[in-house]
Amino acid sequence: MTTRQKLVAGNWKMNGSLQANRALLQAIRQGLADQPPACQVAVAVPMPYLAQVQQLLDGSGIALGAQDVSAHEQGAYTGETSAAMLGDFGVRYGLVGHSERRQYHGETDAVVAAKAAQLLAHGITPIVCLGETLAEREAGQTEAVVSRQLAAVLGLLGSDAGRIVVAYEPVWAIGTGRTATPQEAQQVHAALRAQLARAQAAQVPVLYGGSNPGGLINMVSKRPTGERIRKIEAGIDNNGTASFGFDIGDTLMKGAAHMAGFGVEYLIRVPLIILLCIVAMYVRNRSFHAAFVIFKLAYQFSWIMRHFDRIV
């Protein structure tokens, strides 16, 4: 049986600031130093922060990731970032095919495959995101959709297909409050792994990306097709790369519920849950600015507690 290293990767999405990045990464580094994980840890950050985060991660063992890449080598493509440019910042992982890129930017399977090829050409590991919408799941098309998405990448990469990472991210379970069951995740993982095996790429890690409680992480990670877990939902204040995760789009109530499911010490966890619930009720009838400020602080602390108590 192929041995695969576990991976916890956090996608910050379009969140962060110079100050917030520094505080979060200092906390992550300290958490990992106190409890070294038996896995690879990575963060996928917005492009403007690559230089800062590269410096902040120096010597930490945490891998730097990018959230996107151009499908082109270079040229007149205003606003895009090439794989060669990412390489200049020591990027080791690059997300391609994230559902938000597919949905909001019209990225096709062919474009996703071309981006994966660009990353590999410059020594960066693509994390190829696959996943179905709620409508596709309810229509019984889940396996057909993810198989089609993966086939485009495998077909273009050929013998290099074994160098990628695959992440199954059910679109309907990202920041929606809905959660895939371990059985649902494993069913898709099994189908993807069989497809990879047929392409002589059985060694490719298959990750999970989407909203999930700690129980799902623990159960999926212990099953045969879930050697690596990834929670990759949203931004810098919770997500609650790994994803990998952070989810600044969730509510404070949801943050409290998430924390209740993780192994923070009882005397610490209960007061925090109560506090978050009180803040959520207060914020609901107050200004958006107040909600945002409290939300950032609460979720940053929530993320640290959630992920470094049970990171393995």
Active site residues: 98, 169
Look-up: residue for tokens 């993807």?
Answer: 192
Rounded Cα–Cα distance for residues 122 and 86 (Å): 9
Structure token pair of residue 34:
């106190």
Rounded Cα–Cα distance for residues 188 and 235 (Å): 26
- Asked whether the CA dihedral 96, 67, 26, 298 is positive or negative, the reply is negative
Rounded Cα–Cα distance for residues 295 and 261 (Å): 19
Alpha helix segments (H runs only) across the chain: 18-34, 50-56, 83-88, 99-105, 109-121, 134-138, 142-157, 182-198, 214-221, 252-260, 266-284, 288-309
193 three-class SS: helix
Rounded Cα–Cα distance for residues 265 and 306 (Å): 11
Cα 244 to chain centroid distance, Å, stands at 4
Report the candidate in 262, 286, 284 with the shortest Cα–Cα distance to residue 272: 262
